[in-house]
Structure 1
Amino acid sequence: MGFFRSQVVGSIKWVLDRQGLVLVSTSRFGSYPFADVKRLAAEWKYPVSTIFDVGANEGESTQEALKKFPKARVLGFEPHPATFAKLITKVGRNSRFQGFNVALGTDVGEVEMIEYDDSTTNSLTPNNPYSTRFKTRGRSIRVQETTLDTFCSEHSIDNIDLLKIEAEGLDLAVLQGTSVMLQKRAVKFVLVEFNYLLPRDGVSGGALMPCEDLLGPFGFRFVATYNDYISTGGEMFPVFKALFCLPPRR
Structure 2
Amino acid sequence: MRLPNGLMVSHVSTGETALLYRDIFAERCYMQHGITLSPGGTVFDVGANIGMSTLFFHTECAGLTFHAFEPAPDPYAALSANVAAHGIDATATRCALSDHTGTGRMTYYPDSTVMSGFHADAVSEAALTRTFLVRSGFDEEDVEDMLAGRHETVEIEVPVRTLSDVIAELGVTSIDLLKVDVEKSELEVLRGLSEADWPKVGQVVAEVHDLDGTLKAFVSLLDTHGFDVVVEQDALLAGTEIYEVFAVRKAG
Summarize the Cα distance change of 1:193–1:32 in structure 2 as closer, same or farther, 3 Å threshold: closer
Partner secondary structure for residue 241 of structure 1: strand
Would the alpha carbon gap of residues 132 and 180 (structure 1) be closer, same or farther in structure 2, given more than 3 Å must change?
farther
Specify whether residues 245 and 153 from structure 1 end up closer, same or farther in structure 2 by C-alpha distance, changes over 3 A only: same
TM-score by length of 2: 0.71
Tell me what 1:158 maps to.
173
Residues in 1 aligned to 2:218 and 2:123: alpha-carbon distance in whole angstroms: 15
**2:81 maps to what in 1?**
89
Match of 1:65 in 2: 57
What is aligned with 1:173?
188
Report the alpha carbon displacement of residue 57 of structure 1 after superposing the two structures with TM: 0.4
Flag the 1:103–1:130 CA change in 2: closer, same or farther, 3 A. farther
2:227–2:248 CA contact under 8 A, matched in 1: yes
| TM-score scaled by length of structure 1 | 0.71
Structure 2 CA distance for aligned equivalents of residues 162 and 31 of structure 1: 15
Task: Compute the RMSD of aligned alpha carbons.
Answer: 2.9
Aligned 8 A contact 1:73 1:97 in 2: yes
> Which residue of 224, 228, 249 corresponds with 1:246?
249
1:33 is the counterpart of 2:26: no
Q: What is the CA distance between 1:173 and its match in structure 2?
A: 0.4
Relative to structure 1, the CA distance from residue 99 to residue 129 in structure 2 (aligned partners, 3 Å threshold; closer, same or farther) is farther
In the alignment, is the contact (CA less than 8 A) between 2:183 and 2:209 conserved in 1?
no
Matches of 2:245 and 2:123, distance apart in 1: 16
Whole-Å Cα distance in 1 between the matches of residues 43 and 187 of structure 2?
A: 18
- Deviation of 1:33 after TM superposition, in Å, equals 3.3
For residue 33 of structure 1, give the secondary structure of its aligned residue in structure 2. Answer: coil
Query: Distance between the aligned counterparts of 2:112 and 2:178, measured in 1?
Result: 24
Report the Cα distance in structure 1 between the residues aligned to 2:251 and 2:74, rounded to whole angstroms: 41
On the 8 A contact 2:49/2:70 being kept in 1, the answer is yes
In the other structure, the counterpart of 1:15 is: none
Other-structure match for 1:191: 205
If asked which structure has higher relative contact order (CA below 8 Å, sep 6+), I would say: 2
For residues 108 and 58 of structure 2, what CA distance do their matches in structure 1 show?
A: 27
Where 1:34 maps in the other structure, the secondary structure is coil
Partner of 1:230: 237
Is the contact made by 1:53 and 1:75 (CA closer than 8 Å) also made in structure 2?
A: yes
The structural deviation recorded for 1:133 is 5.0
- Helix, strand or coil: the match of 2:182? coil
Name the SS of the counterpart of 2:92 in structure 1: strand
Amino acid at match of 2:113: S
Cross-structure match for 1:101: 94
Contact kept in structure 2, 1:131 and 1:137, CA below 8 Å: no
Please give the secondary structure, in 2, of the residue aligned with 1:211: helix
Change (3 A) 1:182 1:86: same
Change (3 A) 1:216 1:50: same
What is the CA-CA distance between 1:228 and the residue it aligns to?
Answer: 7.8
Gaps of 5+ in 1: 1-29
AA paired with 1:119?
A: T
Would you say the 8 A contact 1:128–1:168 is kept in 2?
no
Q: Give the 3-state SS of the residue equivalent to 1:242 in structure 2.
A: strand
2: CA distance between counterparts of 1:145 and 1:108? 5
Does the CA contact (< 8 Å) of 2:70 and 2:93 recur in 1?
yes
Q: What is the CA-CA distance between 1:124 and the residue it aligns to?
A: 1.7
CA distance in 1, matches of 2:235, 2:81: 25
Cα distance between partner residues in 2 of 1:31 and 1:59: 15
Q: CA deviation at 1:130?
A: 5.5
Amino acid at match of 2:117: S
User: Is 1:216 matched up with 2:223?
Assistant: yes
The residue aligned with 1:123 is 117
CA distance in 2: counterparts of 1:186 and 1:47, whole angstroms: 17
Residue ranges of structure 2 left out of the alignment (5+ in a row): 1-26, 130-150
Instruction: Give the superposition deviation at 1:91.
Output: 2.1
**Secondary structure of the equivalent of 2:223?**
helix
Aligned residues between the structures: 202
